[in-house]
Structures are given as structure tokens and as C-alpha cells.
Structure 1
Amino acid sequence: MKTEEILARLIAFPSVVGTANHDIVDWIRTYLTGLGAQVSVLPGPEGDRSNLFASIGPADQRGIILSGHMDVVPAAEPPWSSDPFSLRREGERLYGRGTSDMKGFLACALAALPTLASLPLSRPLHLAFSYDEEAGCRGVPHLISRLPDLCAKPQGCIVGEPSGLRAIRAHKGKAAARIEIVGRAGHSSRPDLGLNAIHAMAEIVAEAVCSADALTKGPFDGNFEPPYSSLQVGTIAGGQAVNIIPERCTIELEARAVAGVDPSSLLSDIETKLESLTERGFKTRWETLSAYPALSLKENAPLAVLLRDLTGQEPLPAVSYGTEAGLYQAAGIDAIICGPGDIARAHKANEYIESGELAACRTMIEALGQRLRA
């Protein structure tokens, strides 16, 4: 099948993050099995969605993973010019939800498989397709934990997030949480009889602002913009009316950490502050929404050198957004980002990828196959 034909099939599956994905997984499994690949469908603990792992070549040798996620963000934002789950061509542009982020890369990998399967590979090529990446990389840790049962330890992992097909060696880590405070409602004329959850949350927000300000003082990594870790409160909700003591207040916050800093540790002072509110009668809840480590691959690492040779471009030192690559590196597998499309087109109406970008990515993957042959 041609790359564009495969992409059209993938786009037609509305595999929105946080929803069941059996349809897209079954289609990919059937396609790969027909090419002679060794395929494992790996159900997640949610029960209605799965990761998929496939190999061609000798799985007992150390090979390379091509990693991507099957989920996409919702397509509720206006104004789409066409059905976001039906691929539309306009000139060289192919429109649809997930074309750049990142079903374009999946399509390239799948389209290259017939050529790669015909090669006498001495080292394997693996496909690792995950779910719920858009919810904070929730699916791929379950896949990574199964790798020792599925193949010899891989030499490296190429995560195909849209990068203009230029490799990227580093990104920040991230931790995000939801905080809920429950107080006691009452009439605003008797604040002494209630517990104001918004006032209590104001103390938590103040602690977050203080922590955020402290991060601007370092540690620094000049490869990132900004060159320091960051922290922010992104949402806040609470209260019913101005004359009712608010019983409940909720915020969501995140921290993004430079390499060498545990992103979860940046939230620890806030969590400690939250726990202190229980002594004053408030009920509190801390829910971790996502957590993944930073990526930091050395300039002279074999995987970086390989991608420089395959793309003809020097890898970029870093980007500030995050990917699954940091989780592979944390598991002892060198990882790098390189995929077709542009991250600036993602998560917005009329997302697209260019046919030339797909062709270049497929060529890169087939060239990688030549490096793995006997």
C-alpha cells in the first residue's frame, strides 16, 4: 500500500486520547501480520485500549525501535474546512487530525515495511505504537515494561514526533497534577461557620507562584527556551455564588524540568503545603495527571550520529516540549526525536502534512533498514 493510502486508513480511525482504540490496533495488527512481522498486542490496565509492538528481523539481536503514538487530540476546535477524520488532499497538503501528530510517521513506517521485510536483516527493526500519549505518555510505560519479554535490548529508539525530519537530542521533562480542596459551605455572612476552599487554594497558588519564581534562578541549560525549569497553574475552578462560602476548589498545575532535574520534585513543596491544610479541617486530594523525564542524548552518541547520516542534517540540541523519548532513555535505551511534519501544525484546525514530507520520511526509514541488513 502507498503511504498516502495507509495514512487515509489511519486518519479514518477517530482514536482520540482517552478512548478505546481496538479498531486502529486491529487494522495495524492485520496489516503487519500479513507482511510476516511478529506482532504483539499489549492491553493496558484500562481494558479498552492497547499498545502494539512488532518486529521484523532476528528479535534476539539488538535493533532499532521506531516509536509513535496512535492517539490524537480531539478535533472540536473550529473551523475545520473538512471532516477531520477523512483525509483530504489539496495540492501537496494532506489534511486531517493526526496527519502531523503523528499518524504521518506511523504511515511511513508501515509503508516501508514491505521493503524492509524483503531485506536480509542482521539486526531487527521494531515498531512500538502506543496509546494515550496525548494524556501525558500514559500508555507507553506499559509497553516499555514488556520489552524484555519481546526482544533483545534495543540499541536505540527513534520517536517520530513532527520535527521537520530533523533529529532532536533533548527535551524537558514534565509532571502535572490536579489538586482538590474541600471545605465547608455556608452563608457568606457567617464565615466563621464555614471553611472557604478558595481561600485555602489561594495559599496553594501562592506557594506555586513562589516555586515558579525560584526556578528562574536555575539550574540553567542554554539549549532550552527558557533555559530553566518552569512551573505554572493552568486552570482553577470553584465556588457557586458570591454569597456562598465555597465548599470546593480545584486547580491543575504543571512543572517542566531541564535535564538532570526530576520534574515531580518541582511540585513537592506544593504537595507538602497541601497536606498541611488537613490540620485545619480541609479535605484534600492530589492526583498525578502525567509524569515523564527529560531527554538528553549526547552529541556524539551513536544514535545521534546515525540520524545525522540518515537525514543529512546535524541534530538540534533541544526543544522545550516533551515526548515519550525520555521514558525510553530512562529505561536504558538511547532515544532521539525525528519525524515528518511540523509541531506548529498540531492541535489546531486543518492540521496537515505535505506529501513530500511523507516521501522523505519513508526514504529515511528504508535507508535505516539498509543499515540493519547483513
Structure 2
Amino acid sequence: MSLSPREMLARLIAFPSVSTSSNLDIIGFCQEWLQSQGVESRLVMSPEGDKANLYATIGPQVEGGIVLSGHTDVVPVEGQNWSTDPWTLTEKNGRLYGRGTADMKGFDALVLALVPEMVRAPLKRPVHIALSYDEEIACRGAPSMVREMAGSVPTPSAVIVGEPTRHAVVTGHKASVQLRTQVTGYAVHSSRIDRGVSAVMNAARLIAWHDDVMEENRRRADLNDPFEPPYTTLHCGVVAGGSAANVVSSSAWFSTDIRAIPTESPLDYVERYKAYIRDIVEPRMKAIAPETGVAVELVAEVPGLRPETEGAAERLMRRITGDNGTHVVAYGTEAGLFQRVGWSTVVCGPGDIAQAHQPDEYLEIGEFEAGERVLRRLIGDLCA
């Protein structure tokens, strides 16, 4: 049995593997496909058992292979104005439309469709396939898979994370953390706010701290830094709290993220934030009502990808793609997780990140075909 890359992409797009749902259907399909080609795979389950990572090895169990890494989850389509069915692959005007075509089932489809060729090829070094869950939720799934692979897979020479870069060889991206801040106030009638502690107003003060620090970073930014923007960013994306306009709020919460350039650590910013809470905000709250306070939860941490000096993955992909530019990106990927276990890693794949998460997401057919050529060159390189 064989499936063309486009047929494989159509199969993958048909799975609505949104991060808020289980991915076991799409992972089951991938596992069955690999099994049909004589390739055994291993699942690394989520703690709840409703999601799974998958990894597999094709070729000899020796060091020096390559890892082809992709994620199976996609972002939701609700609230977006699609002109096509997001779960049906649709070709129009040289483009392939569907949720996940660019981010990043296009790469996954190419890898899976070429498995029969990998199996037939006289590989001297192996191909390792790694498919994760919950990349779109702060790379929550991949860490357990990477840890298991690091303990069981012969050390590869390179990891290729196939996020959409139009086959530019990306060697760096920012590290990030996600925080959830819970503010506990003391409720009174708003006419006597002097006797209460407003959770909402203190939350606003803390959100403003994020903006103020980011403005400081912007003013002192090194304009020669290749990142866009060239400084660490702090952002509040969700906030909720309070019950009525005339009630001093007893509870509020908000979610923030911090994305740090490689010369800085997002965890250092977390410590600055906690110090501001401890030294400035909470003393004023507790002076009125001792039971008030602020709790900060580290929801997720995504390590950055650091440019490597003469990195093996970078050298390989520059030779395969012909790209000799210097590329970094502001968004996060699973690349830093592989690099953290000592594996040389780059981000390089078909499509444009500008299409990620958008209504009418698409992958240009030319990019899809270029991705097929790149993977065939990689297979050939492993036979040399």
C-alpha cells in the first residue's frame, strides 16, 4: 500500500486534531500506517491517557541518523471565517487549503508518505520520526517523548523540526514561559473602597508592570539583534475578575507570556515579577486585609533554540537546501527541547508561518513539492 504526499495530507487534514481534544485518532492512523510498512513505533502517552506522542526508527540502530520532528495538533477554527471546509483538503489557485496544511501537517504528510522509500533505501544511518501532541499548548506533549528518545535512540547527528520556514534554515528562536496570576482581594461596597482591596485594580497594576518592563526593553534594544522585535516581550492575553461595578472585587486572574531573546532568561523575569509582588504590591494589600495576596503559577516553559557554532544540523540543512542566510524567529517550537538533550537542531520546513492559525490556512503546492525534494535529498544523504 502507498499514499502520495497529497493523499497523505488529505488523510491528516481530515482529523480535527485540535489541541483541546484527543489526538489518539490521528496518532492511531500514523501508527497503523507505519505498521503497514513494517515499521514499529512507540507511543508516549499523556498523563491523562487521552493523547500520545509517537516515535519510530527506520534503518540501522546506529548513531548519526536524523530526527524528523512534527506535531499532530492544530489550533481551533471556531470564530474564523473560512471559505472552504477546514477539515477537507481543497486545492485552489496553486494552494492547498485546510487547517494544519502549513502548521504543520504538510511536513508530517511528506514524512509519512515517504516512509516506503525510507524502508526500501539502503540506509547506512537511521531516520527517526517524532510526532508530538499539544505543541500548540506551550509544547506540553514533546518533553516526555524527547526524554524517552534520549534514553533509547542512538544519538542522532541532527534534528529537523519541520515548522513552516519556506525551507530557510532557522537556527534560533526565543525562549518563553506562560504564567497564570491569581489575585485575592477583599470585597466591600465600592463607596468604601478604602476598607477593601480590589483584586481587579491590583491585577491591572500587575499587568501594567509587564507593559512597563517591555517598554524598558524596547528602549534599550540592540537594533542589530536579528529577532523581530529585537527584545524580550511581556504580554497579557487573558484577564477576568470582579462581579459588579459597585463591588470591590475579591478575585481576579490573568494569563501572561514572556518571550526572551537568547541572551536573557524568561525565568529571570519571573523572579523580578515575584519580587515586585512581594516587595511592592502585597504589602499594600495586606496592610488592609491580611488574607489578601497574589499567587503566580508557572503554567509552561518552552526553551529557546540557541544558534550553534558549526552545528551539525545547520551544516546538513544548508547543504541540502542551499540556504546560506542567517535566520531566527520570534515564535517558539519544540526545537529547544531536542537541543536541551544535546542534539544539534534546526527548524526547517515547507510553507509560510504567516499562514499558521489563520482562516483559509494554506500551503503553496510549490512549497509542498519543494519539501518532498528536500526529504528525498535527506534520505539519499543517509545512504551515502
Equivalence map 1:201-212=2 (5 Å): 201-212=203-214
Secondary structure of 1:222's counterpart equals coil
Aligned to 1:77: 79
Matched, 1:336 2:346: yes
Q: Judge which range, 109-118 or 235-244, deviates more.
A: 235-244
Q: What does residue 125 of structure 1 align with? A: 127
Query: Are 2:176 and 1:189 aligned?
Result: no
In the aligned structure 1, how far is the partner of 2:374 from the partner of 2:140? Answer: 28
Q: What's the secondary structure of 1:318's corresponding residue?
A: strand
The C-alpha deviation readout for 1:324-363, integer Å capped at 9, x for no partner, is 1111111211110111111111111100112222121111
Counterpart among 34, 37, 43 of residue 36 in structure 2: 34
TM-score by length of 2: 0.92
Question: Does the alignment pair 1:268 with 2:271?
Answer: yes
What SS class does the counterpart of residue 181 from structure 1 fall into?
strand
Looking at structure 2, the residues matched to 315 and 118 of structure 1 have their Cα atoms a distance apart, in angstroms, of 34
1:17-166 matches, within 5 Å, as: 17-166=19-168
Q: Please name the residue that 1:319 is paired with.
A: 329
**Counterpart in 2 of 1:366?**
376
Tell me, in whole angstroms, the C-alpha distance in 2 between the residues paired with 1:199 and 1:81.
42
From 345, 357, 374, the equivalent of 1:347 is 357
**Percent of matched pairs sharing the same residue:** 38
Task: Specify the SS of the correspondent of 1:135.
Answer: coil
Is the contact made by 2:203 and 2:252 (CA closer than 8 Å) also made in structure 1? yes
**Does 2:292 correspond to 1:282?**
yes
Residue pair 2:85, 2:98 contacting (<8 A) in 1 also: yes
Report if the CA contact (8 A) 2:63-2:157 is conserved.
no
**Residue 146 and residue 219 in structure 1: after superposition, are their counterparts in 2 closer, same or farther (change >3 A)?**
farther
| 1:164-201 alpha-carbon deviations (Å, 9 max, x no partner) | 12211111111121111121222112224432112222
- Superposition deviation, residue 221 in structure 1: 6.2
Q: What CA deviation, in whole Å up to 9, does each residue of 1:240-267 have, x standing for no partner?
A: 2221111111122111111132222222
How far, CA to CA, are the matches of 2:207 and 2:63 in structure 1? 51
CA contact (8 A) 2:157 2:312 kept: no
- CA change 1:317–1:356 in 2 (3 A) is closer
Alignment equivalent of 2:15, drawn from 13, 16, 22: 13
Deviation at 1:220, TM superposition (A): 7.2
Paired residue for 2:231, among 228, 233, 238? Answer: 228
Does structure 1 residue 257 correspond to structure 2 residue 260? yes
Q: Tell me how far 1:219 sits from its aligned partner.
A: 7.0
Structure 1 counterpart of 2:318, from 293, 308, 317: 308
Residue 234 of structure 2 aligns to a residue whose secondary structure is strand
Residue 294 (str. 1) matches residue 296 (str. 2): no
Per-residue deviation, residues 35-65 of structure 1 (Å, max 9, x unmatched): 1223101102132101000110112323110
Deviates more, 1:271-280 or 1:35-44: 271-280
Report the more deviating stretch, 261-270 or 158-167.
Answer: 261-270
In structure 1, runs of 5+ residues without a counterpart are none
Q: TM-score, normalised by structure 1?
A: 0.94
Q: Any idea what SS the aligned residue of 2:35 has?
A: helix
Kept in 2: contact 1:7–1:104 (CA 8 A): yes
Contact 2:172 2:327 in 1 (8 A): yes
Contact 2:58 2:128 in 1 (8 A): yes
Contact 1:236 1:250 survives alignment (8 Å): yes
1:269 Cα deviation (Å)?
1.5
Structure 1 CA distance, aligned partners of 2:6 and 2:104?
Answer: 14
State whether residues 263 and 293 of structure 1, in contact with CA within 8 Å, keep that contact through their aligned partners in structure 2.
no
Are positions 1:241 and 2:269 aligned together? no
Distance 1:206 1:233, change over 3 A: same
Could you tell me how far 1:84 is from its partner in structure 2?
0.7
CA-to-aligned-CA distance 1:208-248 (integer Å, 9 cap, x gap): 23422332325776111222222222332222222111111
Give me the whole-angstrom Cα distance separating, in 2, the residues matched to 1:366 and 1:340. Answer: 14
For this pair of structures, how many residues does the alignment match? 374
Aligned-residue offset at 1:367: 0.9
- Runs of 4+ aligned structure 1 residues displaced above 4 Å come to 218-221, 275-279
Report the more deviating stretch, 296-305 or 48-57.
Answer: 296-305
Deviation readout 1:83-102 (Å, 9 max, x if unpaired): 11111112421110000000
Query: For 2:97 and 2:208, how far apart are their aligned partners in 1?
Result: 43
In structure 1, what residue type is equivalent to 2:321?
T
Contact 1:121 1:372 in 2 (8 A): yes
Q: In 2, Cα distance between the equivalents of 1:219 and 1:172?
A: 15
Over the residues paired in the alignment, what is the CA RMSD in angstroms? 1.8
